[in-house]
Amino acid sequence: MKGSIDLLNLDTEKSFIKTECSSYGFQALTNDVAEVKALLGNRVVIEEATLEDIMFYAKGTKHQNV
């Protein structure tokens, strides 16, 4: 999922397993798309994660459940 950095706050970040930010916005991985849709609606682009995406994000989440 992708969106503008100004959408990130303590409440929205709880919905993400891992978030990466850049000057263009953020990319994140979630395991609860319905919750993110309820919070952010059409303000984010939701794409199905590829195996490569999951492996990239999982690499940085050793202490979290993926």
Per-residue pLDDT tens digits for 46-56: 999 889 878 87
Q: Tell me the pTM.
A: 0.74
The HSE-up count of residue 55 (CA atoms within 13 Å, CB side) is 3
Helix ranges restricted to H, the chain: 10-13, 33-40, 51-59
pLDDT tens per residue across all 66 residues of the chain? 999 999 999 989 999 988 989 999 999 999 899 999 999 999 999 999 889 878 877 776 554 444
Task: Please give the pLDDT value at position 53.
Answer: 79
Task: Please give the pLDDT value at position 59.
Answer: 73
Task: Please give the pLDDT value at position 18.
Answer: 87
- Give the Cα separation of 45 and 65 in Å (integer): 23
Residue with tokens 């682009």: 45
| 56: helix, strand or coil | helix
